Chain A
Amino acid sequence: ETGVTQTPRHLVMGMTNKKSLKCEQHLGHNAMYWYKQSAKKPLELMFVYSLEERVENNSVPSRFSPECPNSSHLFLHLHTLQPEDSALYLCASSQEGGFNYGYTFGSGTRLTVV
């Protein structure tokens, strides 16, 4: 596998469920990100990890909990979500902060909360 891989591609969950999204990068990058993408809105940065340390948390509700066990893997744990959390969740990686070479994104997880 190359690039950034996200699983699952699609997820439907009830508001009382607990689920996790997984991201793996095979690029040797040292920073990883979670983004939320909703229709007709700019990408919303949720979490940034650099060298496995959280760099930024953009006031994301506590029902979203990230985990970065090593520089290649990133998880987003979900619990008691709301219908408005339905969106495409994208994982990305970069070398350092992406200033020079940009971000490499995964294909995303399409999340539907019912």
Chain B
Amino acid sequence: TQLLEQSPQFLSIQEGENLTVYCNSSSVFSSLQWYRQEPGEGPVLLVTVVTGGEVKKLKRLTFQFGDARKDSSLHITAAQPGDTGLYLCAGVFSNYQLIWGAGTKLIIKP
């Protein structure tokens, strides 16, 4: 069974702090996608990383794809209350073939 493990499952921190969320697997992916889901809404795509070792930045969010394309991390600098949400990673094998992590629930307290 292919698994994609996210850690931590839950994180509650103060505004202004930094944090890192991890997504790990024993499988090699063609690409990996990160989504954020706010309460009462569907997930929204943040980024797709494709190349091993790739780093992408989205304002205060930094995404990294592992060299072996088995893992990824999301680092948030100076977290804001607007960053609150459920962060999901999805490992992509090919079109229509992907697996999802269970998510990291992030709460940023003012």
**A contacts, CB < 8 Å to B:** 4, 31, 40-43, 48, 50, 55-56, 90, 92, 96-108
Alpha-carbon gap, A99 to B64, bound state (A): 18
Q: List the A side residues contacting B92 at CB < 8 Å.
A: 98-99
Contact A40 B94 (CB under 8 A): no
Among A31, A42, A50: residue with most chain B CB under 10 A:
A42
Contacts of A101 in B (CB 8 A): 45, 48
Contact assessment for A48 and B45 in the assembled complex, using a CB-CB cutoff below 8 Å = no
Bitwise interface map of B from 16 to 47 toward A, beta carbon under 8 Å scored 1, else 0: 00000000000000110101000011111100
Pairwise interchain contact B100-A4, C-beta atoms closer than 8 A: no
Tally of contacts, chain A with chain B, CB under 8 A: 57
Q: Are B43 and A99 in contact (CB under 8 A)?
A: no
- Of the candidates B4, B30, B31, B45, which one forms a contact with A103 in the assembled complex, judged by CB atoms under 8 Å apart? B45
Asked whether any CB of chain A lies closer than 8 Å to the CB of B85, the reply is: no
**Is B96's CB under 8 angstroms from A48's CB?**
yes
Instruction: Give CA–CA (A17, B52) in the complex, Å.
Output: 49
List, in ascending order, chain B residues with CB within 8 A of A106's CB: 42
Whether A99 and B31, one on each chain, are in contact in the complex, defined by CB atoms closer than 8 angstroms, is yes
Chain B residues engaging chain A, CB cutoff 8 angstroms: 4, 9, 30-31, 33, 35, 40-45, 48, 88, 90, 92, 94-103
By a CB distance below 8 angstroms, the chain B residues around A105 are 42-44
Most chain B C-beta atoms within 10 Å of own C-beta, residue among A56, A102, A104: A102
User: What are 15 contact pairs spanning A and B, CB under 8 A?
Assistant: A4-B42, A40-B103, A55-B96, A90-B43, A97-B94, A97-B95, A99-B30, A99-B94, A99-B95, A101-B45, A102-B33, A102-B35, A103-B43, A103-B45, A105-B44
Known interface pairs A40-B9, A42-B101, A43-B100. Does A98 touch B95 (Cβ–Cβ under 8 Å)? yes
Q: 9 tightest A-B contacts by CB?
A: A97-B95, A105-B42, A102-B45, A42-B100, A97-B96, A43-B100, A99-B95, A42-B102, A102-B33
Interface centre among B31, B44, B96 (most CB of A within 10 A): B96
